[in-house]
């Protein structure tokens, strides 16, 4: 009989950037490079992705970096 394995914990969060007014959402698994961060204010069909398949450290660093940017600058950073 196989032992069942506990699923890995997912971490999610969202933060509203004060200067740009955009809401950034992120999710991932601690200690894995599967993190993604995107702008939630867009439509479902057009999500502006800021980071994809990256580490938690890079996502948190990105959030700190874009905190002081304007809406136009943040959207320019996104992959679309």
**For 9-45, how does the pLDDT look when each residue is reduced to its tens digit (9 = 90+)?**
889 999 999 998 999 999 999 888 999 999 987 666 6
Across all residues in the chain, what is the average pLDDT?
A: 87
Q: Is residue 6 part of a domain?
A: no
pTM: 0.80
pLDDT for the residue 9: 83
Q: How many domains does the chain have?
A: 1
Q: Is residue 2 part of a domain?
A: no
Cα–Cα distance list, 53 to 5, 6, 29, 33, 79 (Å): 24, 23, 11, 6, 13
Predicted confidence (pLDDT) at residue 47 exceeds the cutoff of 90: no
First to last CA, the chain: 46
pLDDT for the residue 42: 63
Q: Which domain holds residue 16?
A: 11-77
pLDDT for the residue 61: 95
Q: Is residue 47 part of a domain?
A: yes
Q: Is residue 1 part of a domain?
A: no
Q: Is residue 4 part of a domain?
A: no
């Amino acid at each position: 009989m196989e032992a069942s394995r506990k699923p890995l914990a997912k971490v999610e969060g969202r933060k509203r950037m004060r200067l740009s007014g955009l809401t950034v959402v992120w999710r991932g698994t601690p200690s894995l490079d599967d993190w993604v961060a995107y702008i939630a204010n867009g439509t479902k069909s057009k999500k502006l992705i800021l980071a994809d398949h990256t580490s938690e450290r890079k996502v948190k660093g990105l959030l700190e970096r874009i905190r002081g940017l304007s809406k136009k600058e943040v959207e320019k950073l996104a992959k679309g």
